[in-house]
Amino acid sequence: MSKATKEIRDNARDRESFPALGVTIAAGQVWVGTGIAGPVRGASAVVTETPVNRIAGPVAASLVIGPVGLLGALTKKVKATSVVILANGRTVERRHDGNISVRNTQVEAARFNARTRAG
């Protein structure tokens, strides 16, 4: 990235970072790392999640402490993929693992979508 381009991104008044999505909005553009991915207009973010059952550990625990050990099987771990889709066809994809990480990514995706629709 040229020095001038970096200054435009870093000094933009509308700069907002979305670290879980891997993008930054600045100067009317969506940035990925140090480069421009595409315009803000028409961009959107989606998060798809896949619940993963935790069964091996609780089953082993039930052998030691009885049926109470199976309560851990009721909890679920979530994995997700976030995708930022730009109007020019470019996509930015990231994988997320764990309930807190996925929840934070969903919040960022909602903020990103609100920001891109606002202008």
What is the C-alpha to C-alpha distance for residues 112 and 105, in angstroms, rounded to an integer? Answer: 10
**What is the model's pTM?**
0.74
- Per-residue pLDDT, 32: 93
Residue 109, pLDDT > 60, answer yes
Residue 90, pLDDT > 80, answer yes
3-class secondary structure, 117? helix
Tell me the pLDDT tens digit for each residue of 18-76: 999 999 999 889 999 888 999 999 999 999 988 776 555 554 444 545 555 545 555 66
Residue whose entry in the numeric block shows the structure tokens 């700069």: 15
- Per-residue pLDDT, 66: 52
Residue whose entry in the numeric block shows the structure tokens 């903020």: 111
